[in-house]
Amino acid sequence: MTMPALATYALRLGDDALVLSHRLGEWVTNAPQLEEDVALANIGLDLLGQARTLLSYAGDVEAAGRTEDDLAYLRDEREFLNVHLVERPNEDFAVSMARQLLFSTYQLALYERLQDSADPTLAGMAAKAVKEVDYHRDHATQWVLRLGDGTDESHRRMQAGLERLWPYVDEVFGTDDLEQSLVADGIAVDASTLRAGWDGYVDGVLAEATLTRPEGTRTPPGGGRRGIHTEPMGFLLAEMQHLHRAHPGASW
C-alpha cells in the first residue's frame, strides 16, 4: 500500500508528536515533584493535540477511510514513521530533559518554517503549535541549565543524558526524496536546513550549563522515517495500543 507523499509527511510529523507524548505521559506520578508531573503531562498533551491534527489529516489525504484512532492504535511498528530520538526510553530525568531540549529545539525551528507551508492544514497546525513548542523548549532549557550548572551529581547525569541521546540527533535532520518532492512544492520543510540554527541554540545552552557537546559519538543507521525502529518501540506500542486493541471501539 502506497500512501500519497503528503499523507506520509503528515504521518511522520504526527508520529514524532504522538510517540513523544506517550513518553512524557510515562512521567506522570514519577517526576521529581507533583508540579513537574503536571508540567510534563501538559507538554505531552500539547504534542497529543498536534498528533491528532496530523494523523487525522494523514487519514483524510490518504482517503482510505482511516481515522486518527485507526492510525494511532491499529498500525504495527513497521508502519510508524517517527525518528528514534522520541521513542528512546525515559531513563532518568536528565535523559528525558536532554531529549526535550534536543527535540523541541528541532520541532520549534520546523514549525516556525512550516507556518509558511503552501498546505493550509500544515501551516495552520504549525502556527498554533509554535507557541506551545516555544514553551517546551524553554522548559527543557531551564532544566538543562539547572542540572548542568548544579551539583556534581546533577552535572554528571545531565552530561550522561546528552551522551546517551546525541547519537540520535543526526537522523532528525535527515531528508529524503519524499520530503524533497514536497519541499519543491512549497509544502514541506527541508529538515537538513534546520541544523545550523539548532546547533547555535543548543550550543548556547550547553555552554551556559557548563556542559560539553558530545563529539565523535557513533551514529546508528536510523530508519525511523522508513518504519525501522529501536527495540523499545515495540514495548511502547504494546502499552499505548493494548486497550484499544483489547476493546475495539470502546469509548467513555
x/- map, 9-48, other proteins, by CB under 8 A? ------------------------xxxx-xx--x------
CA distances from 117 to 51, 77, 123, 184 (A): 18, 29, 5, 11
Q: Which of 88, 139, 164, 229 binds other proteins (CB under 8 A)?
A: 139
H/E run at residue 186: none
Asked if 113 touches other proteins (CB under 8 A), the answer is no
Q: Does 138 bind other proteins (CB under 8 A)?
A: yes
Q: Is 134 in the site for other proteins (CB under 8 A)?
A: no
CB of residue 141 to other proteins, shortest distance in Å: 10
Contact assessment for residue 107 and residue 191, using Cβ atoms and an 8 Å cutoff: no
Q: Say if CB 130 and CB 122 are below 8 A apart.
A: no
Select 36 or 69, whichever has its Cβ closest to other proteins.
36
137-152 burial: b if 16+ Cβ within 10 Å, else e: bebbbebbbebbeeee
Least separation in angstroms between CB 37 and other proteins: 10
Contacts of 232 (CB under 8 A, 6+ apart): 87, 88, 89
Q: Which residues contact 114 (CB under 8 A, 6 or more apart)?
A: 122, 123, 125, 126, 188, 189
Query: Of 26 and 77, which has the nearer Cβ to other proteins?
Result: 26
Task: Name residues contacting other proteins, limited to 41-70 (CB under 8 A).
Answer: 42
**Among the listed residues 142, 180, 193, 212, the single contact to other proteins using CB under 8 A:** 142
Binding residues for other proteins, rule: CB under 8 A, are: 33-36, 38-39, 42, 135, 138-139, 142, 146
